[in-house]
Structure 1
Amino acid sequence: MPKFNNNKLIARFQDFRQKIYNCFESCSDACMDLLDALAGNTGANSIAELSLNPLFPRSYNSIYKAIKASFNTTSQEANNEVEEEKEEPNNLIRVVSELIDQPQQRPFHLLALDTTPHPRPDARTLADRGYIYQPNTIIGNKPINIGHCYSILSILPEKQTGNAAPWSIPISGERVSLDKSGVEVGGEQISSLMCDSSLPWDEKLCILVADSAYSQRSFLFEQSKHKNLVVIARVRSNRIFYQSPIIDESNKKRGCPKKYGERFNLAEVETWHEPDETTLTQQTTRCMSHFKHNPPCLASNVDEGN
């Protein structure tokens, strides 16, 4: 177990809170109290319910003022960035990035990008509400719901020890509007992050991992403009590739040379060519190891009378 200096951690936390406090141009005290109430009451069913939290010693009117003040601060920073062409996307990202340790074992910063649904089926007056993707465990039901969708860009820092829990630190969160897709919003988040020269990962190798939705050609082309960014995305199971064409120098014909070789369809096994190299790995997760030594008990709940 690593030893921690409590006084040093407390001083670092106080410095972090002060920097967050300085990010708000108005109603800073109310904004900090709102953040404390959110951290201490994640199950609140309404905004007004947060005013009942002991960490928010104000009336419920101050909550709406704090939200309006923080929104105006973010909007004003965005407007200043457009007018003055600054490379500073958000002061909050810079404050959070200062607490992330530099990687020691791997020579790159690891980023993750994905969208998460926020169902609001009963909020009929909520603006910009639409159909969102949400997995459903019931067979036959469509995996959709009604609400908002958010694009979350996170950084995955290194583990300090082998048994330590992995951390995922969100550094950018944007709501996906109805006139945009999650891939488009995610591309804007990445571009805003990589163009900020004040962040600690500027000009350092960054690897972005994403789902198959981000393997689109348009997204990969835009991110290829960042010289220090490598994108690793899953490929859809129905994607079609083409091998490099075989060029025969002895048989020269007139016209345009051949651009594509043999067809490689991931959904058709007969189009697969022989692999150049095969690697087999075996891994046992902690959950499977637990069940191996402690098998689950299967209970029957059948009524014999029926």
Structure 2
Amino acid sequence: MNSERLKDFRQAAYELLVLAKDAKFELMDAVMTTRNAACLAEFSLSPLFNRQWSSVYEALQDCRPDRKKLMMLYQEQLQQQVPRTEHILVAIDHTAWARPDAQTLKDRTHEYQKGCIVGQGYSTIAWIPEEQGSWALPLLHERISSGSSPILQAASQLKLVCEQSVNPILAVLDA
């Protein structure tokens, strides 16, 4: 990716962040460049995050970007790299976050992860480059509500990605 294209992408992503844009953007840079962080507050130690530690939490609370518009921005970048005739490989994964002691947390569910746990489930659909590299680009990451299921959430996410893509989509899912 050339520097001009990267600047355009970063500007477009910045515009989609709504509130607390600067803090959120610095936090994203800190997350992408910090190798090991034991807790969220450690991202405030990054030289790319020019705020106090409490701003990490404020940035997350204040900024609710339009996930669909962000996904569309990501897909625009993909379409510049992948010829229209080639398929895009996506992986969909369901992950459970155990929260057994968070009794006031809304919409906890019973999740299966090495046994049955109480917590919240999340579904992620990510683009997987086939040629080389070990990274993935998350297109959508969403919590699974108690009124849904991992497969329904995955199907909804896959449908949205397929509707926005000019390339054929090949999806792989775990068990």
Instruction: Calculate the TM-score normalised by the size of structure 2.
Output: 0.78
CA distance in 1, matches of 2:130, 2:46: 34
Aligned residues, how many? Answer: 172
Cα deviation per residue 1:45-67 (whole Å; 9 max; x = unaligned)? Answer: 2x444334433221244334322
CA distance in 2, matches of 1:20, 1:42: 25
Give the gaps of 5 or more residues in structure 2. none
CA distance in 2, matches of 1:102, 1:66: 33
Residues 191 and 37 of structure 1: CA distance in aligned 2, closer, same or farther (over 3 Å): same
Aligned counterpart for 1:169 among listed residues 137, 145, 150: 137
Identity in percent: 31
Aligned counterpart for 1:188 among listed residues 140, 156, 166: 156
Q: Secondary structure of the equivalent of 2:63? A: helix
Alpha-carbon contact 1:48-1:63 (below 8 Å) kept: yes
* Greater share of residues in strand: 2
Alpha-carbon contact 2:86-2:168 (below 8 Å) kept: yes
Give the gaps of 5 or more residues in structure 1. 1-7, 75-88, 136-142, 213-306
Cα deviation per residue 1:118-153 (whole Å; 9 max; x = unaligned)? Answer: 233454443333332223xxxxxxx23332221111
Give how far 1:107 is off.
3.6
* Corresponding residue of 2:38: 44
CA distance in 1, matches of 2:30, 2:174: 33
Give how far 1:33 is off.
1.3
RMSD of the alignment, in Å?
A: 2.8
* Corresponding residue of 2:128: 156
* Greater share of residues in helix: 2
Structure 1 runs of 4+ off > 6 angstroms? Answer: none
Aligned counterpart for 2:147 among listed residues 174, 179, 197: 179
Q: Secondary structure of the equivalent of 1:195? A: helix
Residues 53 and 123 of structure 1: CA distance in aligned 2, closer, same or farther (over 3 Å): farther
* Corresponding residue of 1:55: 48
> Are 2:71 and 1:93 aligned?
yes
The one-letter code of the counterpart of 2:106 is A
The structure, 1 or 2, with the larger RCO (C-alpha pairs under 8 Å, 6+ apart) is: 2
Cα deviation per residue 1:166-185 (whole Å; 9 max; x = unaligned)? Answer: 54322111111222111111
Cα deviation per residue 1:3-44 (whole Å; 9 max; x = unaligned)? Answer: xxxxx6444333322221111222210110121232226533
